[in-house]
Structure 1
Amino acid sequence: MHLNVFTQCSPSPQFKGMWRLPGDRTATGYRSLDYWISRARQLEAACIDALFFADIHGVYDVYRGSWAPAVRHAVQIPSIDPALLLSAAAAATRHLGFAITYSTTYHSPYECARLFSSLDHLTGGRVGWNIVTSYLRSATANGLGEYLDHDERYERADEYVQVARALWEESWDADAVVRDAERDIFTDPDRVRQIDHEGRWFSVRGPHQCEPSPQRTPVLYQAGSSPRGIEFAARHAEVVFLTLADPASGAEPVAALR
């Protein structure tokens, strides 16, 4: 069994209103490095495997036709980008893993590959990617990209992961970085290659901008619960979120996914 702790970089990560309790630290702690470093050390001491950060792109604005209720009650707003915390928390720990949510709908795969290679280097191979297909229409209103229907988002995500994995796994040989000072060769270009991906959604030449990181490919998480989401998770993920009422009723969906 591997234990992950689920949180968000926002006040009251799951239980809304908890910030109102005397002694609660999330209301200001969510934006403090000291807070997250303390939490990371606490979790490592408890032998937790990973600290997992959920995230969204956009603001909830459907209830009462406005974003005001979400803002009023701190429903995932305000929030900060969890990717910026990981290096500091990793420097304060030795074994704790970290996973962050990153959207295949509103970011490019080349950018994604560089971010996770960077985090994998800086954490010493302790990073995971929660692959999400963003669903909030408010993200489009904020200029993040075109809103896509449910299954189309997963079609894009399939190709997105294919591109990211090609950059991580195929672009650089393990021994490409030679650091030959005498010949003035840091990286042997014959051991680095383009991926030359041409698809429906993406055109990515490469090569990848980062040398291979300790894991090369981060641990892949996925939380889709629809039939298309489960199909995606079965194809790509190493860790899958499922909401199961009890072991008996959960056995069938787990078996189907495997």
Structure 2
Amino acid sequence: MTHHDRPLILSLFEMGSVVHLSPGTWTHPEDRRHSVDSLSFWRELGGILEQGRFDQLFLADVVGAYDNADDGLSSPVSQGYQIPALDPLVLLGALAESTKHLGLAATFSTTYEPPFTFARRLATLDALSEGRIAWNVVTSYLKNAAQNFGLHDQIQHDERYEIADEFLDVVYKLLLGSWDADAVLGDTQTGTWADPEKVRYIDHAGPRFAVRGPHLVAPTPQRLPVIFQAGSSLTGMAFAGRHAEVVFLGGNSPEAIRKNVDTIRSHAAAAGRDPDQLRFLAAAQVIVAPTEEQAHAKAAEIDRHRSDWATLQKNGRVPSLHRYPDDALVADIIRRRDPGHEVLIRGWREGQQVKDLRGAAGAGGRARNGLRVVGTGIQAADALTQWAQESGLDGFNIGNQISFGTIRDFVDLVVPVLQRRGLTRSEYTPGETLRERLLGAGPSPHSTHPSTRYLDPRNLRIPAARFDARLTPA
């Protein structure tokens, strides 16, 4: 493990959809995805995660359909591939009530909706959950998403990150700058609910957003929910260095992950942040049983129900690669802006060839993106520990293959081993915010995080560009 004094972060990667990342497994006789749109499904899942002392539930999201294959909506709709998809922010509201300790992270895109209304929803969730909320910042990459918000086609990749920078700036001003921490008085003697001297307009006027304020929610336990980000492109990694507190990384090997960790830490340092204030998670597929033989039989049974890799390609999860030779450079496909280049940017690395992207790894090896483990609880704990040590990771985003069998097995067979070894938490700390749990400091952002500049109201008057000159890595 990178930091021996800290437990590994355990996160479950989920989505309010029949299919998240395991197409076809809803047809498995033991799967319960047919009830994903019922409160009881999420209440039960939250209970399992709290029993396993998981740190958080991390919800993915899309705001469009994967309709960019030849058959349009036919494939994604017939397969249930991330459509239908529930709004993750509404799901978190329900989970805030049905769980007591679990961290709750929702994905929300900065590209299409205004920051003011989102800041209000985000702060409301932080208040209702008593400080257990995280926001996974994404910029969205589906053409259909753009078309749902009045655009003909996607905004280009790097421009989406420019929009995201300003979007976050507005959210920071609203959540940290608009109200002082001690603004609320609730003084029945004088009839003063909040001190008007301590609540202010933000008067943001930027290239894309004009927001007067004030923010409509009083300061919440974390002030700003924890900022998550999952960008593997060069622009995305620089953005993570500026803003993210927890980064969800791709990578097929510990070496590739460590390289990304080091790159993002260096971006954070260049942005004037303390690089030790970032945490890193990677995906892990874990299928376990009491014996190795049973685990492999279970994995084989799940894989029999899984749709093949070609279906994912058809859905536009990766571009159609059959038209390229094995030794074609991915960099050239991106440079020419060929169909699907936006998705390739997310996982691109130097020297990568098309043959590196073909096919998915078999059991017990490296999954297409992240780690795949099939075995006993001890074998899974060994593999997770080894990956964390070799890669510099702080924890894992565990994928759900069968609901709820996969995660129940993990809680029953893997978690006790990790707990006995002192590698994951055995108890929650009552009243702890998610930021305190993950970062080990206070409930509000660290003093070197760019949001904290707005704790001084005078900085609301300084154009963001003046700050960004200092914050943008060279």
Q: Is TM > 0.5 for Structure 1 vs Structure 2?
A: yes
> For 2:195, which of 188, 193, 200 is the aligned residue?
188
TM-score by length of 2: 0.53
> For 1:121, which of 93, 118, 127 is the aligned residue?
127
1:197 and 1:145 map into 2 onto residues whose CA distance is 25
Instruction: Give the drift of 1:194.
Output: 1.0
Question: Residue 48 of structure 1 corresponds to which residue in structure 2?
Answer: 54
Alignment partner of 1:211 is 2:218: yes
Q: 1:71 is matched by which residue type in structure 2?
A: V
1:174 and 1:133 map into 2 onto residues whose CA distance is 30
1:215 and 1:169 map into 2 onto residues whose CA distance is 10
Instruction: Give the drift of 1:14.
Output: 1.5
2:106 and 2:59 map into 1 onto residues whose CA distance is 5
Q: 2:97 is matched by which residue type in structure 1?
A: A
Instruction: Give the drift of 1:164.
Output: 0.3
Alignment partner of 1:163 is 2:170: yes
Instruction: Give the drift of 1:180.
Output: 1.7
Q: What SS does the corresponding residue of 1:161 show, helix, strand or coil?
A: helix
Gap regions ≥5 residues in structure 2: 1-7, 266-474
| Cα distance, 1:145–1:103 mapped onto 2, change above 3 Å | farther
1:144 and 1:187 map into 2 onto residues whose CA distance is 40
Instruction: Give the drift of 1:65.
Output: 4.8
| Cα distance, 1:143–1:253 mapped onto 2, change above 3 Å | closer
Query: What whole-Å deviation, never above 9, does each CA across 1:189-214 have from its counterpart, x for those lacking one?
Result: 11101111111111111110100010
Q: Which of 78-87 and 233-242 deviates more? A: 78-87
| Cα distance, 1:145–1:126 mapped onto 2, change above 3 Å | farther
**C-alpha contact 1:106 1:144 (8 A) present in aligned 2:** no
1:126 and 1:182 map into 2 onto residues whose CA distance is 33
Question: Residue 140 of structure 1 corresponds to which residue in structure 2?
Answer: 146
**RMSD, aligned α-carbons:** 1.3
1:156 and 1:143 map into 2 onto residues whose CA distance is 15
> For 1:27, which of 29, 34, 50 is the aligned residue?
34
Q: What SS does the corresponding residue of 1:63 show, helix, strand or coil?
A: coil
Question: Residue 16 of structure 2 corresponds to which residue in structure 1?
Answer: 9
**Where in structure 2 are the equivalents of 1:31-180 lying within 5 Å?**
31-143=37-149, 147-180=154-187
| Cα distance, 1:103–1:249 mapped onto 2, change above 3 Å | closer
Query: What whole-Å deviation, never above 9, does each CA across 1:109-152 have from its counterpart, x for those lacking one?
Result: 11111011000001110000000101212123223557311100
Instruction: Give the drift of 1:224.
Output: 1.1
Instruction: Give the drift of 1:218.
Output: 0.5
1:156 and 1:106 map into 2 onto residues whose CA distance is 10
**C-alpha contact 1:109 1:160 (8 A) present in aligned 2:** yes
Q: 1:121 is matched by which residue type in structure 2?
A: A
Gap regions ≥5 residues in structure 1: none
1:60 and 1:230 map into 2 onto residues whose CA distance is 25
Query: What whole-Å deviation, never above 9, does each CA across 1:164-184 have from its counterpart, x for those lacking one?
Result: 011111110111111122322
Q: 2:110 is matched by which residue type in structure 1?
A: T
Q: What SS does the corresponding residue of 2:249 show, helix, strand or coil?
A: coil
Q: What SS does the corresponding residue of 1:164 show, helix, strand or coil?
A: helix
Q: Which of 36-45 and 62-71 deviates more? A: 62-71
Query: What whole-Å deviation, never above 9, does each CA across 1:45-74 have from its counterpart, x for those lacking one?
Result: 101100000000111111115112110111
**C-alpha contact 2:112 2:149 (8 A) present in aligned 1:** no
Structure 1 consecutive aligned stretches of length 4 or more whose deviation exceeds 6 Å: none
| Cα distance, 1:86–1:22 mapped onto 2, change above 3 Å | same
**C-alpha contact 1:10 1:27 (8 A) present in aligned 2:** no
1:72 and 1:98 map into 2 onto residues whose CA distance is 30
Q: Which has the higher contact order (CA 8 A, sep 6+)?
A: 2
1:12 and 1:137 map into 2 onto residues whose CA distance is 20
TM-score by length of 1: 0.96
Instruction: Give the drift of 1:188.
Output: 1.4
